[in-house]
Amino acid sequence: MGRQGWEGLPALKDVPSFDAQCDLFIHKLSLCHERINFNLPNGHLKRESLKTQTLEELIDYMDQPMKDAFPMRIYPPLISMVSANLFRRVPTREGLVNYSEPDDQSRSLEPAWVHVELVYGVLQRFIAHPRADVFLMQTVVTKDFILRLLDLFDSEDMREREQLKTILHSAYSRIIPLRGFIRSSITDLFQRYIYELQRFNGVAELLEILGSIINGFALPLRDEHKEFLRTALIPLHVPAGLATYHVQLSFCITLFVEKDTSLSIDVIKGLCKYWPRVQSRKEVLFLAELEELLELVEVEELSSVVEPLFGRIAGSIASQHFQVAERALLLWNNEYVVNCIMHYREVAMPAIIPALRDNERRHWNQQVVLLSCHVQRLLSEMDPQLYDRCFNEDERSLMRRERVARLKAKLSEDLNLTSESEWNGTIRPMSSISELLEIARTSSEYRSKENGVDLNCTELKRQLPKADGEDDDDEEVR
């Protein structure tokens, strides 16, 4: 593109006839094809300025009301110019992504943004223009074009992702035949992100588009829409980068549950399945989302998921990370959650009370200890008899665990098991008291004359008296 190509051209507004304006419009589109390298110091300043002015003029022309429809001959050169400028290697940081929100200084920004932004403006006005024929638009805004737009969502430049979000939403709204393809393409992109890529910058923006789409779903929900929830949205809880898009994801899932509360069971099962084990920040997010879900559903609908549900809550209560434990205990401030626990107290209390008592005995954070005592008091007022039963069972369980620990220590000493590896090689990690006593009775090491060991098993059992009502047979060493 020589500099002379820009000179001597009239402004679009100065051309009298519509056909001549279209010809000049196409010519100016062709002049904007070439991308200018903004990384060169003081290079192509004149061309940069001319291209900026031309793109601004094209946008101003498209903003003006038109009497006639966009002629078909404009569509291909416009999309060609857009493709030449936008479909490029997007700016990203090298290496692994830090899943915390990066600050402005750590982002990779598009150096040619002054032009890229204007090209996005041209595309947005074209797709949303009332005088652009949607049927003809489908011939240039193809499936391949949509896929390449979706790839651009990986840009680290948030300004670019915002522009793409607006354009893709406009395309979904206007080009009805592409709606199914756009949804399926987003599903494929999410699944690649979850199972292959492990990083993708535009998940939050795509979920914002989906929030608007889901809000417009008619009732009753179609099977393909429910499948989208199960296969695309719920598995998005898996990646380590959940915190960067959890607000948008939670909003989309809430919209589904509000439209069909039976879907809450699928969501809760998914949360229990993907519950984080070592990522405390994710676990806090899961607890917050779980609380929102419980506010939306009828208690009776939860009967099939109460056991895994309260199991996960109990595990979070027992967490040594104080923020996780505190967030789980604060669920009792929500009347919907308390009502759910009251309704299923026969399942909830046996799962929760041991965790509460364990916190009371040995948690390092004083606030967690105080909250655990407070929740125990609430449960005891909710059903005193059931609470006492669970309390006594936990006491017996504690005494059994202490007895097993003493027995293991005694066996380790008498069998000369000085290391953990020797212990695991001789006695399996999960052994009942009866099995441990049998090992003591039959082990050649235990009865070895050389070691002078001949302890009577009855005497050993007598030395470790069991608690009232304790049953040896089924107790396991944990």
Mean pLDDT for 452-456 is 47
Q: Is residue 205 part of a domain?
A: no
pLDDT at res. 432? 59
Q: Is residue 454 part of a domain?
A: yes
Eight-class DSSP state of 418:
-
- Of 141, 161, 183, the residue at which a domain comes to its end is 141
What the block records as the tokens of 198 is 């492990």
- Of 118, 141, 164, the residue at which a domain comes to its end is 141
pLDDT tens string 366-387: 999 999 999 999 999 999 999 9
Eight-class DSSP state of 430:
S
In 31-144, the DSSP E strands lie at: none
- Residue 449's domain spans which residues? 403-463
How many residues does the structure list for the chain?
478
Q: What is the pLDDT confidence band of residue 465, given thresholds at 50, 70 and 90?
A: very low
Provide the number of structural domains found in the chain.
Answer: 2
Pair 53, 5: CB distance under 8 Å = no
Eight-class DSSP state of 231:
I
State the sign of the Cα–Cα–Cα–Cα dihedral 44, 45, 48, 51. negative
pTM higher than 0.85 for the full model?
no
Residue with the two structure tokens 């395309």: 171
Q: Is residue 102 part of a domain?
A: no
pLDDT tens string 121-151: 999 999 999 888 999 999 999 999 999 999 9
What the block records as the tokens of 162 is 């915002």
Eight-class DSSP state of 196:
I
What the block records as the tokens of 101 is 């929100």
Q: Angle of helix 158-174 relative to helix 143-151, nearest 10 degrees?
A: 160
Pair 170, 124: CB distance under 8 Å = yes
Q: Is residue 459 part of a domain?
A: yes
Q: Is residue 173 part of a domain?
A: no
For residue 476, which phi and psi values (nearest 5 degrees)?
A: -110, 150
d(CA 129, CA 247): 32
Q: Is residue 367 part of a domain?
A: no
pLDDT tens string 145-185: 999 999 999 999 999 999 999 999 999 999 999 999 999 99
Q: Angle of helix 143-151 relative to helix 75-86, nearest 10 degrees?
A: 30
For residue 94, which phi and psi values (nearest 5 degrees)?
A: -80, 155
d(CA 6, CA 21): 16
3-state secondary structure (DSSP) of residue 103:
coil
